Structure 1
Amino acid sequence: MANPQTLAKHYARLLSLWPKDALRPNLPFTKTIEYRALAFGLKPETAAESTKTTDVKKTAAPYKPGDARVELANVNALFLLLEDKFKRKHLLPPEALKPTSNPGHYDRLMEEIERAPKKSWWSAKVDEWKMKIRWK
């Protein structure tokens, strides 16, 4: 059975290991993890620097944890996500990422996602306008 201190340590470890979201820095998943951790006594100082505890407290109702076993299962599921366990267990066949109608779609999509955080406001707007015009 997990006690609140153990759960708080698990949440603190998750917050320290969780990757930063470069695409949406204003909506990090770590805010959700921190919100859950606050109910177990995790101090805001030990939380990830990218999240603001005050924002979490102001925008959401206080989290009331239920059964400790269920909460521990939730923490374990987050660790499995962090380790890409499900991605490795359920591999996609290569054809799924290369549809015959548009084989380069997912490659271009990943390139765009990697470029997006580095774009200036102007280049993002130009790209948005380009998508609204049919070039054929």
Structure 2
Amino acid sequence: MSGAARNVAANHFRGALTRWPKDALRPDCQLQDVLAKRLQKTALAPSTGGATQEQADLKQANALYSLLQDRYKNRYRAPEKLFEPRSNPTYYKDLLKELEEAPHRSWLGRLAKRLSGMIRFT
């Protein structure tokens, strides 16, 4: 791959990585860090048989941008009733609430949550 083509693909990757949201659940392992290490290597994408390396790199950068823009969520909308199962209608709302609270929970709060999950009163 030529140097100019590699710079174009690397710039697209950097643009996508600067906009990528931080993961609050795993602050020590971020997608941005992993992909930034890939930028330092000679090839961004694994080599493919038919396409050139430049095309493969640009396809991967396009995939990052499509995930950032929620193209697939907007294109393939799921019906609302899918998010409210009959057996537990608040399951997904409770899951989102738990994911928002988990990064801010103290050590004692995590221990209490773990113990309450082990002991169930029926």
**TM surpasses 0.5:** yes
- When Rg is computed on C-alpha atoms for both structures, the one with the higher figure is 2
Instruction: Specify the SS of the correspondent of 2:29.
Output: coil
Unaligned runs of 5+ in 1: 41-61
Preserved CA contact (<8 Å) 1:98 1:105: yes
Preserved CA contact (<8 Å) 1:39 1:65: no
Q: Structure 1 residue aligned with 2:56, among 54, 70, 88?
A: 70
What TM-score comes out, normalization by structure 2 length?
A: 0.85
How many positions carry a matched residue from both structures?
115
Unaligned runs of 5+ in 2: 48-52
State the shift of 1:34 in Å: 1.0
What TM-score comes out, normalization by structure 1 length?
A: 0.77
Instruction: Specify the SS of the correspondent of 1:3.
Output: helix
Residue in 2 aligned with 1:59?
none
Residue in 2 aligned with 1:90?
76
4+ runs of 1 displaced by more than 4 Å? Answer: 62-65
State the shift of 1:100 in Å: 0.2
1:26-77 CA-to-partner distances (Å, cap 9, x unmatched) read: 221112321222226xxxxxxxxxxxxxxxxxxxxx9775311011101100
In structure 2, do the counterparts of structure 1 residues 127 and 107 end up closer, same or farther at CA, with 3 Å as the change threshold? same
What is the root-mean-square deviation in Å for CA atoms of aligned residues? Answer: 2.1
Q: Structure 1 residue aligned with 2:93, among 107, 115, 118?
A: 107
Preserved CA contact (<8 Å) 1:3 1:68: yes
State the shift of 1:115 in Å: 0.5
Q: Map residues 9-88 of structure 1 onto 2, 5 A cutoff.
A: 9-39=11-41, 66=47, 67-88=53-74
Residue in 1 aligned with 2:50?
none
Quote the sequence identity (%): 33
1:123 aligns with 2:109: yes
